[in-house]
Amino acid sequence: MSDSKYENKPGIDERISRAYYKGQKIVVTGGAGFIGSHIVETLLPVGAEVTVIDNFLRGNKIEHLRGRQNLSVYEADVTDAEAINKLINDCDIMFHLAAVVGVEETQIAPVEVLNVEVQGTINIFNLAVEKNTNAVAVSEFQGTQLVFIG
């Protein structure tokens, strides 16, 4: 089956260049966290339209960007499919970094932590399919597994 959207997708060299993200609508889950905040800080100056979804469990590392043009920040939980579906109209790329990170948290509430990783990731992938998103990047839990679907 041929799908021109995928046949014409840019190569990796293009996607790692910052200019590629200019004008793209990009969702960053966990965008207020350590990695997510650096992604947001990198994307805004190149002219991306960035939407952050975070429940601020770990505070807010993008507080200093409040009011910036092209940045929308929503408090929501990635396990709540209905809530995140309402927030995202369309998007070109998703970076999924929302996660409960830490050995202690995993020991105290293993089911809840796994639910964020598993159900949250399923919700983001479902949303990506529904919104016809071009690419989803996921940095998974307790390791450095990176999934990139272009």
Ligand X SMILES: NC(=O)c1ccc[n+]([C@@H]2O[C@H](COP(=O)([O-])OP(=O)(O)OC[C@H]3O[C@@H](n4cnc5c(N)ncnc54)[C@H](O)[C@@H]3O)[C@@H](O)[C@H]2O)c1
Binding interface with ligand X (CB under 6 A):
29-30, 32-36, 54-58, 77-79, 97-101, 116, 120, 139-141, 144
Which are the contacts of 5, defined by CB distance < 8 A and separation ≥ 6? 134
> By beta-carbon distance, which residue lies closest to ligand X?
33
- Comparison of 48 and 98: residue with beta carbon closer to ligand X: 98
- Comparison of 47 and 74: residue with beta carbon closer to ligand X: 74
- Comparison of 2 and 144: residue with beta carbon closer to ligand X: 144
DSSP-based three-state secondary structure for 95: strand
Distances (CA, A) of 69 to 12, 17, 44, 50: 28, 22, 8, 9
Least distance between ligand X and beta carbon 67 (Å):
19
CB atoms < 10 A from the CB of 79, how many?
19
Least distance between ligand X and beta carbon 22 (Å):
24
- Comparison of 55 and 134: residue with beta carbon closer to ligand X: 55
Least distance between ligand X and beta carbon 76 (Å):
7
CA distance 76 to 78: 7
Least distance between ligand X and beta carbon 150 (Å):
19
Q: Enter the DSSP assignment of 19.
A: G
- Comparison of 41 and 47: residue with beta carbon closer to ligand X: 41
Least distance between ligand X and beta carbon 122 (Å):
13
Rounded to a whole number, what is the largest CA-CA distance in the chain?
A: 48
- What are the backbone dihedrals phi and psi of residue 88, each rounded to the nearest 5 degrees, phi first? -105, 115
